[in-house]
Structure 1
Amino acid sequence: MNKKIVILADSGSDVPQDFCEAHDVFTLPLKVIYPDREYTDKVDITSEDVIARMPQEIPKTSLPDGASIVACFDEIKAAGYEQVIAVTISSGLSGTFNMVRMMAKDYDGLEIFVLDTKNIGIASGLQAIRAVELVDSGLEFAAICQTLENEVFKNKVFFNVATLEYLQKGGRIGLVTAIFGTALKLNPIISCNEEGVYYTVAKSRGRKKSLAKSLELVKDFAGSSKKYRLAVAHAGAKEEAQAMMERLTTLLPNAVERYFGEISPALVVHTGPGLLGVGIQVLD
Protein backbone atom coordinates (compact mmCIF):
# COMPACT_ATOMS: atom_id res chain seq x y z
CA MET A 1 0.00 0.00 0.00
CA ASN A 2 1.12 3.56 -0.72
CA LYS A 3 1.84 4.91 2.75
CA LYS A 4 1.49 8.52 1.61
CA ILE A 5 -2.18 8.30 0.58
CA VAL A 6 -5.03 7.97 3.07
CA ILE A 7 -8.81 7.67 2.71
CA LEU A 8 -11.16 9.91 4.68
CA ALA A 9 -14.91 9.21 4.65
CA ASP A 10 -17.75 11.04 6.36
CA SER A 11 -19.81 8.99 8.81
CA GLY A 12 -22.85 9.11 6.51
CA SER A 13 -20.95 6.92 4.07
CA ASP A 14 -21.30 4.01 6.50
CA VAL A 15 -17.92 2.40 5.83
CA PRO A 16 -17.92 -0.61 8.18
CA GLN A 17 -15.94 0.12 11.35
CA ASP A 18 -13.85 -3.04 11.13
CA PHE A 19 -12.87 -2.11 7.56
CA CYS A 20 -11.85 1.39 8.72
CA GLU A 21 -9.69 -0.08 11.46
CA ALA A 22 -8.07 -2.66 9.18
CA HIS A 23 -7.24 -0.13 6.45
CA ASP A 24 -6.58 3.06 8.45
CA VAL A 25 -9.58 4.87 6.99
CA PHE A 26 -10.24 8.13 8.82
CA THR A 27 -13.85 9.09 9.60
CA LEU A 28 -15.30 12.59 9.61
CA PRO A 29 -18.42 12.47 11.79
CA LEU A 30 -21.69 14.26 11.13
CA LYS A 31 -23.63 15.74 14.06
CA VAL A 32 -26.92 14.65 15.65
CA ILE A 33 -28.57 17.52 17.52
CA TYR A 34 -31.25 17.22 20.22
CA PRO A 35 -32.56 20.26 22.15
CA ASP A 36 -30.58 19.19 25.24
CA ARG A 37 -27.23 18.42 23.56
CA GLU A 38 -25.24 17.72 20.41
CA TYR A 39 -23.90 14.26 19.66
CA THR A 40 -21.09 13.11 17.38
CA ASP A 41 -22.33 10.56 14.85
CA LYS A 42 -21.24 7.00 15.72
CA VAL A 43 -19.01 8.28 18.54
CA ASP A 44 -21.30 9.03 21.48
CA ILE A 45 -24.64 8.04 19.96
CA THR A 46 -25.86 4.88 18.22
CA SER A 47 -28.63 4.15 15.75
CA GLU A 48 -30.48 2.32 18.54
CA ASP A 49 -30.33 5.47 20.69
CA VAL A 50 -31.99 7.53 17.96
CA ILE A 51 -34.65 4.90 17.24
CA ALA A 52 -35.47 4.54 20.96
CA ARG A 53 -36.37 8.24 21.15
CA MET A 54 -38.60 8.15 18.07
CA PRO A 55 -41.21 9.22 17.16
CA GLN A 56 -41.54 11.50 20.21
CA GLU A 57 -38.16 13.10 19.54
CA ILE A 58 -36.76 13.66 16.07
CA PRO A 59 -33.39 15.39 16.26
CA LYS A 60 -31.73 17.54 13.64
CA THR A 61 -28.47 16.75 11.92
CA SER A 62 -25.64 18.91 10.70
CA LEU A 63 -22.54 18.51 8.62
CA PRO A 64 -19.11 18.73 10.24
CA ASP A 65 -18.04 22.32 10.91
CA GLY A 66 -14.88 23.85 9.50
CA ALA A 67 -12.94 23.45 12.74
CA SER A 68 -13.72 19.71 12.90
CA ILE A 69 -12.61 19.22 9.31
CA VAL A 70 -9.36 21.11 9.85
CA ALA A 71 -8.71 19.11 13.04
CA CYS A 72 -9.17 15.92 11.00
CA PHE A 73 -6.71 17.18 8.37
CA ASP A 74 -4.25 18.03 11.15
CA GLU A 75 -4.51 14.50 12.52
CA ILE A 76 -3.91 13.02 9.07
CA LYS A 77 -0.88 15.23 8.48
CA ALA A 78 0.54 14.42 11.91
CA ALA A 79 0.24 10.70 11.03
CA GLY A 80 2.64 11.29 8.14
CA TYR A 81 0.29 11.20 5.17
CA GLU A 82 0.72 13.58 2.23
CA GLN A 83 -2.33 12.96 0.06
CA VAL A 84 -5.98 12.55 1.04
CA ILE A 85 -8.95 11.11 -0.83
CA ALA A 86 -12.02 12.42 0.99
CA VAL A 87 -15.22 10.53 0.19
CA THR A 88 -18.50 12.24 1.03
CA ILE A 89 -22.19 11.58 0.72
CA SER A 90 -23.97 13.29 -2.15
CA SER A 91 -23.78 17.06 -2.48
CA GLY A 92 -27.44 16.81 -3.49
CA LEU A 93 -28.35 15.65 0.03
CA SER A 94 -25.76 17.29 2.28
CA GLY A 95 -23.43 20.28 2.40
CA THR A 96 -20.58 18.05 3.60
CA PHE A 97 -18.93 17.78 0.16
CA ASN A 98 -18.81 21.54 -0.32
CA MET A 99 -17.62 22.18 3.23
CA VAL A 100 -14.79 19.65 2.99
CA ARG A 101 -13.79 20.97 -0.43
CA MET A 102 -13.75 24.54 0.86
CA MET A 103 -11.59 23.62 3.87
CA ALA A 104 -9.29 21.52 1.67
CA LYS A 105 -8.68 24.40 -0.74
CA ASP A 106 -7.06 26.55 1.95
CA TYR A 107 -5.26 23.79 3.84
CA ASP A 108 -1.46 23.68 3.63
CA GLY A 109 0.63 20.53 3.78
CA LEU A 110 -1.78 18.01 2.22
CA GLU A 111 -2.92 17.35 -1.33
CA ILE A 112 -6.65 16.69 -0.95
CA PHE A 113 -9.13 15.33 -3.48
CA VAL A 114 -12.82 15.37 -2.49
CA LEU A 115 -15.16 12.87 -4.17
CA ASP A 116 -18.86 13.67 -4.48
CA THR A 117 -20.23 10.12 -4.55
CA LYS A 118 -23.73 11.24 -5.68
CA ASN A 119 -24.88 8.57 -3.25
CA ILE A 120 -25.56 7.99 0.41
CA GLY A 121 -24.99 5.37 3.06
CA ILE A 122 -23.26 2.18 2.03
CA ALA A 123 -23.34 3.12 -1.69
CA SER A 124 -21.06 6.00 -0.76
CA GLY A 125 -19.09 3.71 1.55
CA LEU A 126 -18.47 1.24 -1.25
CA GLN A 127 -16.67 4.05 -3.08
CA ALA A 128 -14.39 4.56 -0.08
CA ILE A 129 -13.70 0.81 -0.07
CA ARG A 130 -12.90 1.02 -3.78
CA ALA A 131 -10.52 3.91 -3.06
CA VAL A 132 -8.62 1.74 -0.58
CA GLU A 133 -8.42 -1.02 -3.19
CA LEU A 134 -6.99 1.39 -5.76
CA VAL A 135 -4.40 2.73 -3.30
CA ASP A 136 -3.39 -0.83 -2.44
CA SER A 137 -2.95 -1.57 -6.16
CA GLY A 138 -0.15 0.98 -6.32
CA LEU A 139 -1.83 3.49 -8.64
CA GLU A 140 -0.65 7.08 -8.49
CA PHE A 141 -2.81 9.63 -6.67
CA ALA A 142 -4.09 11.41 -9.81
CA ALA A 143 -5.02 8.10 -11.47
CA ILE A 144 -6.93 6.97 -8.38
CA CYS A 145 -8.89 10.22 -8.26
CA GLN A 146 -9.76 10.01 -11.95
CA THR A 147 -10.81 6.36 -11.67
CA LEU A 148 -13.09 7.12 -8.72
CA GLU A 149 -14.74 9.99 -10.60
CA ASN A 150 -15.23 7.79 -13.66
CA GLU A 151 -16.84 5.05 -11.57
CA VAL A 152 -19.30 7.11 -9.50
CA PHE A 153 -22.31 5.81 -11.43
CA LYS A 154 -21.21 2.18 -11.09
CA ASN A 155 -22.51 2.39 -7.50
CA LYS A 156 -26.15 2.27 -6.47
CA VAL A 157 -28.31 1.90 -3.38
CA PHE A 158 -31.96 0.84 -3.33
CA PHE A 159 -33.75 1.34 -0.04
CA ASN A 160 -37.13 0.87 1.54
CA VAL A 161 -38.47 2.94 4.42
CA ALA A 162 -41.32 2.01 6.73
CA THR A 163 -42.71 5.53 6.37
CA LEU A 164 -41.85 8.67 4.39
CA GLU A 165 -42.54 10.81 7.48
CA TYR A 166 -38.90 11.22 8.45
CA LEU A 167 -37.66 12.06 4.96
CA GLN A 168 -40.38 14.70 4.79
CA LYS A 169 -39.65 16.22 8.19
CA GLY A 170 -35.93 16.29 7.49
CA GLY A 171 -36.45 18.05 4.17
CA ARG A 172 -34.72 15.18 2.34
CA ILE A 173 -37.70 14.05 0.30
CA GLY A 174 -36.06 15.05 -3.01
CA LEU A 175 -38.07 13.79 -5.96
CA VAL A 176 -39.93 11.17 -3.92
CA THR A 177 -43.69 11.69 -3.95
CA ALA A 178 -44.72 12.20 -0.34
CA ILE A 179 -48.28 10.91 -0.66
CA PHE A 180 -48.72 7.33 -1.84
CA GLY A 181 -52.13 6.55 -0.40
CA THR A 182 -51.98 4.57 2.79
CA ALA A 183 -55.06 2.59 1.81
CA LEU A 184 -53.14 1.15 -1.16
CA LYS A 185 -50.10 0.42 1.02
CA LEU A 186 -47.75 1.46 -1.75
CA ASN A 187 -44.12 1.21 -0.68
CA PRO A 188 -41.63 3.25 -2.69
CA ILE A 189 -38.13 1.99 -3.44
CA ILE A 190 -35.82 4.98 -3.25
CA SER A 191 -32.39 5.63 -4.73
CA CYS A 192 -30.23 8.59 -5.79
CA ASN A 193 -30.39 9.96 -9.33
CA GLU A 194 -27.46 11.34 -11.35
CA GLU A 195 -27.65 14.61 -9.43
CA GLY A 196 -27.42 12.67 -6.19
CA VAL A 197 -30.99 13.47 -5.13
CA TYR A 198 -33.54 10.96 -3.82
CA TYR A 199 -36.06 9.71 -6.34
CA THR A 200 -38.59 6.88 -6.58
CA VAL A 201 -37.27 3.95 -8.60
CA ALA A 202 -40.35 1.77 -8.24
CA LYS A 203 -43.48 1.27 -6.15
CA SER A 204 -44.81 -2.01 -4.82
CA ARG A 205 -47.87 -2.86 -2.78
CA GLY A 206 -46.72 -3.91 0.68
CA ARG A 207 -43.26 -4.25 2.16
CA LYS A 208 -42.70 -7.87 1.19
CA LYS A 209 -43.22 -7.14 -2.50
CA SER A 210 -41.18 -3.98 -2.18
CA LEU A 211 -38.19 -5.86 -0.78
CA ALA A 212 -38.51 -8.48 -3.52
CA LYS A 213 -38.56 -5.69 -6.12
CA SER A 214 -35.37 -4.25 -4.60
CA LEU A 215 -33.64 -7.57 -5.28
CA GLU A 216 -34.77 -7.41 -8.91
CA LEU A 217 -33.41 -3.88 -9.24
CA VAL A 218 -30.04 -4.89 -7.82
CA LYS A 219 -29.85 -7.83 -10.23
CA ASP A 220 -30.74 -5.55 -13.14
CA PHE A 221 -28.06 -3.07 -12.11
CA ALA A 222 -25.48 -5.86 -11.96
CA GLY A 223 -26.50 -6.84 -15.49
CA SER A 224 -23.92 -9.13 -17.07
CA SER A 225 -21.22 -8.12 -14.59
CA LYS A 226 -19.20 -10.97 -13.12
CA LYS A 227 -17.46 -8.87 -10.49
CA TYR A 228 -19.18 -6.67 -7.92
CA ARG A 229 -19.45 -5.79 -4.24
CA LEU A 230 -22.72 -6.08 -2.35
CA ALA A 231 -23.94 -4.58 0.90
CA VAL A 232 -27.05 -4.64 3.04
CA ALA A 233 -27.69 -1.93 5.64
CA HIS A 234 -30.62 -1.40 7.98
CA ALA A 235 -32.09 0.66 10.80
CA GLY A 236 -33.80 -1.53 13.38
CA ALA A 237 -34.63 -4.22 10.83
CA LYS A 238 -31.89 -6.77 11.45
CA GLU A 239 -33.87 -9.96 10.78
CA GLU A 240 -35.27 -8.66 7.48
CA ALA A 241 -31.80 -7.44 6.53
CA GLN A 242 -30.22 -10.82 7.24
CA ALA A 243 -32.88 -12.53 5.14
CA MET A 244 -32.22 -10.00 2.38
CA MET A 245 -28.49 -10.78 2.46
CA GLU A 246 -29.20 -14.51 2.18
CA ARG A 247 -31.44 -13.98 -0.84
CA LEU A 248 -28.93 -11.59 -2.38
CA THR A 249 -26.14 -14.14 -1.99
CA THR A 250 -28.20 -16.74 -3.85
CA LEU A 251 -29.29 -14.30 -6.54
CA LEU A 252 -25.85 -12.77 -7.14
CA PRO A 253 -23.25 -15.36 -6.15
CA ASN A 254 -20.25 -13.67 -7.82
CA ALA A 255 -19.74 -10.90 -5.25
CA VAL A 256 -16.06 -10.40 -4.44
CA GLU A 257 -17.09 -9.01 -1.04
CA ARG A 258 -20.27 -8.59 1.00
CA TYR A 259 -20.88 -6.09 3.76
CA PHE A 260 -23.63 -6.01 6.38
CA GLY A 261 -24.44 -3.44 9.04
CA GLU A 262 -26.54 -0.65 10.47
CA ILE A 263 -26.81 2.81 8.98
CA SER A 264 -25.37 5.72 10.92
CA PRO A 265 -27.42 7.52 13.58
CA ALA A 266 -27.43 10.67 11.42
CA LEU A 267 -29.04 8.78 8.56
CA VAL A 268 -31.60 7.15 10.87
CA VAL A 269 -32.81 10.66 11.72
CA HIS A 270 -33.92 11.10 8.11
CA THR A 271 -35.18 7.60 7.37
CA GLY A 272 -36.66 6.45 10.67
CA PRO A 273 -36.71 2.86 11.94
CA GLY A 274 -37.38 0.07 9.49
CA LEU A 275 -35.04 1.21 6.72
CA LEU A 276 -33.57 -1.60 4.65
CA GLY A 277 -31.11 -0.79 1.90
CA VAL A 278 -29.12 -2.81 -0.63
CA GLY A 279 -25.95 -1.41 -2.17
CA ILE A 280 -24.08 -2.65 -5.22
CA GLN A 281 -20.78 -1.64 -6.81
CA VAL A 282 -20.00 -2.96 -10.29
CA LEU A 283 -16.29 -3.64 -10.78
CA ASP A 284 -16.02 -4.80 -14.39
Structure 2
Amino acid sequence: MQKIALIVDSACDLSLEVIKEKNIRLLPLRISYSHGEYKDKIDISADEIYGNLEKEVPKTSLPSAEDLEKILIDLENEGYTHVIAVTISSGLSGTFNSIRLALEEHPNLTSHVFDTKILAMPEGIVALEVANLIKEGKSFEEIVSELPTIRKNIIGYFTVNTLEYLKKGGRIGRVAGTIGDMLNLKPIVTVDEEGIYYTVCKARGRKQSISKLISFLKDELKENKCNVWVLHGGALEEAKSVLESLKGLNNILSLDISQISPALGVHGGPGLLGLAIQKVC
Protein backbone atom coordinates (compact mmCIF):
# COMPACT_ATOMS: atom_id res chain seq x y z
CA MET A 1 0.00 0.00 0.00
CA GLN A 2 1.27 3.46 -0.89
CA LYS A 3 1.99 6.01 1.82
CA ILE A 4 2.59 9.34 0.07
CA ALA A 5 4.44 12.32 1.58
CA LEU A 6 4.38 15.88 0.26
CA ILE A 7 7.39 18.20 0.54
CA VAL A 8 7.28 21.92 -0.29
CA ASP A 9 9.91 24.62 -0.02
CA SER A 10 9.15 27.75 1.97
CA ALA A 11 8.70 29.92 -1.12
CA CYS A 12 5.20 28.44 -1.41
CA ASP A 13 3.73 31.04 1.01
CA LEU A 14 1.50 28.55 2.80
CA SER A 15 1.09 29.43 6.46
CA LEU A 16 2.65 27.21 9.10
CA GLU A 17 -0.87 26.41 10.30
CA VAL A 18 -1.96 25.15 6.87
CA ILE A 19 1.28 23.20 6.44
CA LYS A 20 0.67 21.42 9.74
CA GLU A 21 -3.02 20.84 9.02
CA LYS A 22 -2.31 19.32 5.60
CA ASN A 23 0.60 17.17 6.89
CA ILE A 24 3.07 18.82 4.52
CA ARG A 25 6.83 18.67 5.14
CA LEU A 26 8.34 22.15 4.93
CA LEU A 27 11.84 22.63 3.54
CA PRO A 28 12.95 26.16 4.48
CA LEU A 29 15.10 28.33 2.28
CA ARG A 30 17.89 30.15 4.11
CA ILE A 31 18.28 33.86 4.81
CA SER A 32 21.76 35.11 5.71
CA TYR A 33 22.69 38.37 7.43
CA SER A 34 26.16 39.52 8.38
CA HIS A 35 25.36 38.47 11.96
CA GLY A 36 23.92 35.02 11.22
CA GLU A 37 21.69 32.70 9.24
CA TYR A 38 17.95 32.03 9.61
CA LYS A 39 15.55 29.40 8.31
CA ASP A 40 12.84 31.00 6.20
CA LYS A 41 9.46 31.13 8.00
CA ILE A 42 10.88 29.14 10.93
CA ASP A 43 13.39 31.52 12.52
CA ILE A 44 12.35 34.82 10.93
CA SER A 45 9.12 36.45 9.73
CA ALA A 46 8.40 38.52 6.66
CA ASP A 47 7.69 41.57 8.85
CA GLU A 48 11.14 41.23 10.42
CA ILE A 49 12.69 41.14 6.95
CA TYR A 50 10.90 44.31 5.86
CA GLY A 51 11.73 46.07 9.12
CA ASN A 52 15.46 45.49 8.57
CA LEU A 53 15.80 46.11 4.83
CA GLU A 54 17.05 49.67 5.24
CA LYS A 55 19.83 48.44 7.52
CA GLU A 56 20.83 45.36 5.55
CA VAL A 57 19.54 43.41 2.56
CA PRO A 58 20.22 39.77 3.40
CA LYS A 59 21.22 37.01 1.02
CA THR A 60 18.98 34.05 0.31
CA SER A 61 20.11 30.54 -0.49
CA LEU A 62 18.95 26.98 -1.05
CA PRO A 63 17.56 24.87 1.76
CA SER A 64 20.34 23.16 3.67
CA ALA A 65 21.31 19.62 2.68
CA GLU A 66 21.05 18.67 6.36
CA ASP A 67 17.42 19.82 6.62
CA LEU A 68 16.49 17.94 3.46
CA GLU A 69 18.29 14.78 4.54
CA LYS A 70 16.53 14.83 7.93
CA ILE A 71 13.13 15.09 6.23
CA LEU A 72 13.88 12.13 3.94
CA ILE A 73 15.22 9.94 6.75
CA ASP A 74 12.19 10.78 8.90
CA LEU A 75 9.87 9.83 6.05
CA GLU A 76 11.58 6.48 5.62
CA ASN A 77 11.42 5.83 9.36
CA GLU A 78 7.71 6.70 9.36
CA GLY A 79 6.98 4.14 6.67
CA TYR A 80 6.42 6.44 3.70
CA THR A 81 6.86 4.73 0.35
CA HIS A 82 6.37 7.65 -2.06
CA VAL A 83 7.31 11.35 -2.11
CA ILE A 84 6.01 14.23 -4.18
CA ALA A 85 8.01 17.46 -3.91
CA VAL A 86 6.54 20.73 -5.19
CA THR A 87 9.16 23.41 -5.76
CA ILE A 88 9.74 27.03 -6.65
CA SER A 89 10.62 27.65 -10.30
CA SER A 90 13.98 26.18 -11.29
CA GLY A 91 14.47 29.36 -13.30
CA LEU A 92 14.68 31.32 -10.04
CA SER A 93 16.23 28.85 -7.60
CA GLY A 94 18.28 25.67 -7.53
CA THR A 95 15.91 24.10 -4.99
CA PHE A 96 14.30 21.79 -7.56
CA ASN A 97 17.64 20.30 -8.55
CA SER A 98 18.89 19.91 -4.98
CA ILE A 99 15.77 17.96 -3.96
CA ARG A 100 15.97 15.81 -7.08
CA LEU A 101 19.60 14.89 -6.40
CA ALA A 102 18.95 14.16 -2.72
CA LEU A 103 16.07 11.82 -3.56
CA GLU A 104 18.34 9.85 -5.88
CA GLU A 105 20.21 8.80 -2.73
CA HIS A 106 17.01 7.37 -1.24
CA PRO A 107 15.96 4.60 -3.64
CA ASN A 108 13.46 3.22 -1.10
CA LEU A 109 11.34 6.31 -1.72
CA THR A 110 9.59 6.41 -5.08
CA SER A 111 9.60 10.10 -5.88
CA HIS A 112 8.53 12.84 -8.24
CA VAL A 113 9.88 16.40 -8.04
CA PHE A 114 7.57 18.88 -9.73
CA ASP A 115 9.03 22.17 -10.96
CA THR A 116 6.05 24.55 -10.77
CA LYS A 117 7.81 27.25 -12.84
CA ILE A 118 6.15 29.71 -10.46
CA LEU A 119 6.55 30.88 -6.87
CA ALA A 120 4.74 32.34 -3.88
CA MET A 121 1.06 31.46 -3.40
CA PRO A 122 0.67 30.15 -6.98
CA GLU A 123 3.23 27.49 -6.00
CA GLY A 124 1.33 27.01 -2.75
CA ILE A 125 -1.91 26.35 -4.63
CA VAL A 126 -0.25 23.46 -6.46
CA ALA A 127 0.87 22.04 -3.12
CA LEU A 128 -2.62 22.40 -1.64
CA GLU A 129 -4.13 20.52 -4.56
CA VAL A 130 -1.60 17.70 -4.13
CA ALA A 131 -2.30 17.55 -0.38
CA ASN A 132 -6.03 17.27 -1.08
CA LEU A 133 -5.49 14.48 -3.61
CA ILE A 134 -3.37 12.56 -1.10
CA LYS A 135 -6.13 12.94 1.49
CA GLU A 136 -8.69 11.69 -1.04
CA GLY A 137 -6.66 8.50 -1.43
CA LYS A 138 -5.45 9.08 -4.98
CA SER A 139 -2.47 6.98 -6.00
CA PHE A 140 1.01 8.39 -6.56
CA GLU A 141 0.65 7.76 -10.28
CA GLU A 142 -2.73 9.49 -10.47
CA ILE A 143 -1.46 12.56 -8.65
CA VAL A 144 1.68 12.85 -10.78
CA SER A 145 -0.41 12.62 -13.94
CA GLU A 146 -2.71 15.42 -12.72
CA LEU A 147 0.07 17.87 -11.82
CA PRO A 148 0.43 19.48 -15.29
CA THR A 149 -3.32 20.14 -15.43
CA ILE A 150 -3.32 21.62 -11.93
CA ARG A 151 -0.43 23.88 -12.85
CA LYS A 152 -1.84 25.18 -16.15
CA ASN A 153 -4.89 26.58 -14.33
CA ILE A 154 -2.80 28.78 -12.01
CA ILE A 155 -1.25 32.16 -12.72
CA GLY A 156 0.16 34.97 -10.64
CA TYR A 157 0.91 38.65 -11.18
CA PHE A 158 2.61 41.17 -8.94
CA THR A 159 3.77 44.73 -8.87
CA VAL A 160 6.46 46.30 -6.68
CA ASN A 161 7.09 49.82 -5.45
CA THR A 162 10.69 49.62 -6.60
CA LEU A 163 12.83 47.20 -8.59
CA GLU A 164 15.77 47.92 -6.30
CA TYR A 165 15.49 44.64 -4.39
CA LEU A 166 14.92 42.42 -7.42
CA LYS A 167 18.04 43.95 -8.96
CA LYS A 168 20.12 43.52 -5.79
CA GLY A 169 19.10 39.87 -5.53
CA GLY A 170 19.90 39.11 -9.15
CA ARG A 171 16.32 37.92 -9.70
CA ILE A 172 15.25 40.57 -12.17
CA GLY A 173 15.41 38.38 -15.29
CA ARG A 174 13.84 40.27 -18.19
CA VAL A 175 12.36 42.98 -15.97
CA ALA A 176 14.00 46.28 -16.91
CA GLY A 177 14.21 48.73 -14.06
CA THR A 178 16.35 51.84 -13.76
CA ILE A 179 14.56 54.09 -16.25
CA GLY A 180 11.21 52.81 -15.03
CA ASP A 181 12.04 53.81 -11.47
CA MET A 182 12.95 57.31 -12.65
CA LEU A 183 9.66 57.70 -14.53
CA ASN A 184 7.56 56.16 -11.71
CA LEU A 185 6.61 53.29 -14.02
CA LYS A 186 5.41 50.26 -12.10
CA PRO A 187 5.81 46.94 -13.92
CA ILE A 188 3.23 44.18 -13.70
CA VAL A 189 5.36 41.05 -13.46
CA THR A 190 4.63 37.37 -13.99
CA VAL A 191 6.77 34.40 -15.05
CA ASP A 192 7.20 32.93 -18.51
CA GLU A 193 7.09 29.27 -19.57
CA GLU A 194 10.66 28.84 -18.31
CA GLY A 195 9.75 30.25 -14.92
CA ILE A 196 11.67 33.52 -15.33
CA TYR A 197 10.29 36.93 -14.36
CA TYR A 198 9.08 39.15 -17.15
CA THR A 199 7.07 42.33 -17.44
CA VAL A 200 3.57 41.97 -18.86
CA CYS A 201 3.01 45.74 -18.95
CA LYS A 202 3.87 48.93 -17.10
CA ALA A 203 1.64 51.44 -15.37
CA ARG A 204 2.40 54.97 -14.25
CA GLY A 205 2.14 55.13 -10.50
CA ARG A 206 0.82 52.89 -7.78
CA LYS A 207 -2.90 53.40 -8.36
CA GLN A 208 -2.71 52.49 -12.03
CA SER A 209 -0.54 49.45 -11.36
CA ILE A 210 -3.16 48.07 -8.96
CA SER A 211 -5.87 48.76 -11.54
CA LYS A 212 -3.86 46.80 -14.10
CA LEU A 213 -3.60 43.85 -11.72
CA ILE A 214 -7.35 43.84 -11.26
CA SER A 215 -7.93 44.11 -15.01
CA PHE A 216 -5.98 40.86 -15.55
CA LEU A 217 -8.21 39.17 -13.00
CA LYS A 218 -11.35 40.52 -14.66
CA ASP A 219 -10.21 39.07 -17.97
CA GLU A 220 -9.89 35.63 -16.37
CA LEU A 221 -13.29 35.96 -14.66
CA LYS A 222 -15.01 36.58 -18.00
CA GLU A 223 -14.17 33.00 -18.99
CA ASN A 224 -13.73 31.07 -15.74
CA LYS A 225 -14.76 30.71 -12.15
CA CYS A 226 -11.68 31.38 -10.01
CA ASN A 227 -10.22 31.12 -6.55
CA VAL A 228 -8.30 34.32 -5.84
CA TRP A 229 -5.62 35.31 -3.34
CA VAL A 230 -4.42 38.88 -2.85
CA LEU A 231 -0.66 38.76 -2.27
CA HIS A 232 1.27 41.34 -0.30
CA GLY A 233 4.73 42.03 1.00
CA GLY A 234 4.58 44.44 3.93
CA ALA A 235 1.42 46.03 2.49
CA LEU A 236 -1.42 44.46 4.47
CA GLU A 237 -3.70 47.50 4.52
CA GLU A 238 -3.44 47.94 0.75
CA ALA A 239 -4.06 44.22 0.29
CA LYS A 240 -7.21 44.49 2.41
CA SER A 241 -8.37 47.40 0.28
CA VAL A 242 -7.78 45.43 -2.92
CA LEU A 243 -9.64 42.45 -1.47
CA GLU A 244 -12.64 44.63 -0.63
CA SER A 245 -12.70 45.98 -4.18
CA LEU A 246 -12.88 42.44 -5.55
CA LYS A 247 -15.82 41.24 -3.46
CA GLY A 248 -18.47 42.34 -5.94
CA LEU A 249 -16.96 40.58 -8.95
CA ASN A 250 -18.77 37.63 -10.48
CA ASN A 251 -17.21 34.17 -10.76
CA ILE A 252 -14.94 34.47 -7.71
CA LEU A 253 -15.39 31.25 -5.75
CA SER A 254 -13.09 32.14 -2.86
CA LEU A 255 -11.08 35.19 -1.85
CA ASP A 256 -8.22 35.40 0.63
CA ILE A 257 -5.02 37.28 1.51
CA SER A 258 -1.54 35.74 1.45
CA GLN A 259 1.68 37.29 2.73
CA ILE A 260 4.85 36.81 0.72
CA SER A 261 7.33 34.55 2.52
CA PRO A 262 10.40 36.10 4.17
CA ALA A 263 12.82 34.79 1.52
CA LEU A 264 10.72 36.18 -1.33
CA GLY A 265 10.23 39.41 0.58
CA VAL A 266 13.98 40.00 0.39
CA HIS A 267 13.70 40.22 -3.40
CA GLY A 268 10.33 41.94 -3.74
CA GLY A 269 10.90 44.56 -1.09
CA PRO A 270 8.20 46.33 0.91
CA GLY A 271 5.03 47.30 -0.92
CA LEU A 272 4.67 44.28 -3.18
CA LEU A 273 1.09 43.57 -4.21
CA GLY A 274 -0.13 40.75 -6.39
CA LEU A 275 -2.81 38.26 -7.29
CA ALA A 276 -2.78 34.48 -7.42
CA ILE A 277 -5.53 33.13 -9.63
CA GLN A 278 -6.70 29.53 -9.87
CA LYS A 279 -9.10 28.79 -12.67
CA VAL A 280 -11.67 26.18 -11.66
CA CYS A 281 -13.07 24.16 -14.56
TM-score normalised by the chain length of structure 2 = 0.94
Please state if 1:259 is matched with 2:256: yes
Residues 30, 64 of structure 2: 8 Å contact kept: no
Distance 1:122 1:96 in 2: 17
Q: Which amino acid aligns with 2:174?
A: L
Q: Could you tell me which runs of 5 or more consecutive residues in structure 1 were left unpaired when the two chains were aligned.
A: none
Distance 2:220 2:69 in 1: 38
Alpha-carbon shift at residue 91 of structure 1 (Å): 0.3
Residues 153, 194 of structure 1: 8 Å contact kept: no
Q: Deviations over 1:61-99 (max 9, x none)?
A: 001132221111122233332211111110000000011
Aligned residue-pair number: 281
Report the equivalent of 1:220.
219
Report the equivalent of 1:246.
244
Report the equivalent of 1:195.
194
Q: Residues 113 and 222 of structure 1: is their aligned pair in 2 closer, same or farther, counting only changes over 3 Å?
A: farther
Report the equivalent of 1:118.
117
Report the equivalent of 1:278.
275
Q: Deviations over 1:202-238 (max 9, x none)?
A: 1111111101110111232344113x32212211100
Distance 1:208 1:3 in 2: 51
Alpha-carbon shift at residue 8 of structure 1 (Å): 1.2
Distance 2:200 2:124 in 1: 21
Residues 180, 186 of structure 2: 8 Å contact kept: no
Q: Residues 214 and 116 of structure 1: is their aligned pair in 2 closer, same or farther, counting only changes over 3 Å?
A: same
Q: Which amino acid aligns with 2:237?
A: E
Q: How does 1:114-153 map to 2 (within 5 A)?
A: 114-153=113-152
Alpha-carbon shift at residue 280 of structure 1 (Å): 0.9
Distance 2:66 2:221 in 1: 40
Alpha-carbon shift at residue 21 of structure 1 (Å): 1.8
Residues 9, 15 of structure 1: 8 Å contact kept: no
Q: How does 1:36-75 map to 2 (within 5 A)?
A: 36-75=35-74
Distance 1:3 1:215 in 2: 43
Distance 1:61 1:168 in 2: 14
Residues 115, 149 of structure 1: 8 Å contact kept: no
Q: Deviations over 1:139-177 (max 9, x none)?
A: 221121121123323211111111000000000001111
Q: Which moved further from structure 2: 205-214 or 80-89?
A: 80-89
Distance 1:192 1:245 in 2: 23
Q: Which amino acid aligns with 1:198?
A: Y
Q: Could you tell me which runs of 5 or more consecutive residues in structure 2 were left unpaired when the two chains were aligned.
A: none
Report the equivalent of 1:268.
265
Distance 2:4 2:278 in 1: 22
CA RMSD of aligned residues (A): 1.7
Runs of 4 or more off by more than 6 Å in structure 1? none
Report the equivalent of 1:230.
228
Residues 9, 27 of structure 1: 8 Å contact kept: yes
Report the equivalent of 1:4.
3
Distance 1:223 1:94 in 2: 34
Alpha-carbon shift at residue 183 of structure 1 (Å): 4.8
